[in-house]
A = this chain, B = another copy of it.
Amino acid sequence: MSVLSPQVADYLDKASWIRRMFEAGSELKQKFGAEKVYDFSLGNPDLPPPPEISRGLEELSRTVSRPYALGYMPNAGLPGVRLALARAVSREQGVDLAAEHVLVTCGAAGGLNVFFRAVLSPGDQVVCPAPFFVEYSFYVQNYQGSLVPVPARPISFDLDLAAMERALTPRTRAVLINSPNNPTGQVYTREELTELVRIIDKRSREFGRPILLISDEPYRFLTYEDTVVPPVMSLYPYSLVASSYSKSLSMAGERVGYLAVHPEMPGGEELLEGLNLTNRILGFVNAPVIGQLLLEKALHVTVDTEVYAERRKAMARILEEAGLEFALPRGGFYFFPRAPKGDDQQFVRDLFQENILAVPGSGFGCPGFLRFSFCVSREVIDRAGPGLKKAANG
């Protein structure tokens, strides 16, 4: 007899194809050797952390042997780190945040859970453009809410604003966007966001309660050809930003990110108290202290983004040569091309025959497409070219 809740048992059941896919990938690597497998399936940054991280650890090693050095702290994080983050977010968002408007969180994933735990009641809805990062749907269901995906317009995946408006109901508690987007690589324009906010605001008034807008931005640091990610906070007072340093500092395992609340949000003070509480009661307690201390030393730097820019060009070339249809990503490290015959699962199998691993769009609520991550060396990209072409034209 299962000791799991029926819901979680069902999750496992539905996720079994992803597990099988990863297992098949591992077997492929064992059989042919990892260097003969072209793995575009993982969003795990392969660049080393910047030197500030190693230097920071060395400094910490000299100060850590005193009482409370790694002890409990306010649930919202170390005051100095919150202040530094408030300054950085203020610059990015064009509004003035104080330290109290920022919570340091266990990555963006932790921050989003803390947010949903604080604002959702059972039955509440969260509207999100599709495709979307597949975990979003779990984060919302953790608190008995439901994610309402609204298909964006292929192939560029800009927002279908009319459809977004129709999706907003009296049960909509929040709209969740992710820009630069995982998996599409697209960045919403200021015009799109302005119109989105107008719609949300209009619907909020109709329904008599504010719909919150939360923007998940871990790829903000990584855009191409002068693309700028427009700040949601300069457009809408009921807005929040979640982010993380997993990508910008190649520090995904240490789990450090933040949640920032618009300083002029009506009821924002109470919301911040609530987020503080839910960060505690979900068992995060606080974001890892060593990660926070390192962040304080490395907030002004990122990994070498030029490397990603080069890979993006190489990746575009092999996709083009294979005749695949795609929009050039404006940020992040993913391409999201259309599957040649519209069947993403079949194309994933065809690629597999060429030792190429990618993730079917079905996993992101968007069948018919595939996600290729370019967290792999330039050489791997180039060498995958012929196989990709063969699979696409087989």
Contact = CB atoms under 8 A, between A and B. Distances in A.
Contact of A58 (B61, B209, B254): B61
Contact of A283 (B47, B70, B121, B139): B139
Nearest to A111: B283
A121 B54 contact: no
A69 B49 contact: yes
A187 interface: no
A67 B117 CA distance: 34
A277 B12 contact: yes
Interface string A265-304: 1110011011001101111111011110000000000000
Nearest to A62: B54
B64 A57 contact: yes
Contact of A270 (B4, B120, B143, B273): B4
Residue of A122, A246, A251 ringed by the most chain B CB atoms within 10 A: A251
B3 A271 contact: yes
A285 B254 CA distance: 10
Nearest to A122: B144
A46 interface: yes
Given A61-B58, A271-B4, A283 B107 contact: yes
A32 interface: no
A212 B286 CA distance: 28
A1 B118 contact: no
A72 B253 contact: yes
A198 to B, nearest CB: 20
Interface in A115-132: 117-122, 124
Contacts of A254: 70, 288-290
Given A8-B278, A282-B113, A61 B64 contact: no
A144 B142 contact: no
A237 to B, nearest CB: 11
Contacts of A113: 282-283
Contacts of A209: 1
B44 A66 contact: no
A56 B124 CA distance: 46
B3 A288 contact: no
A200 interface: no
Given A8-B277, A283-B112, A60 B62 contact: no
Contact of A288 (B117, B238, B288): B288
Contacts of A281: 11, 135, 138-139, 142
Contact of A118 (B4, B112, B119): B4
Interface string A25-63: 000000000000000001011111101011111101110
A362 to B, nearest CB: 18
Contacts of A56: 61
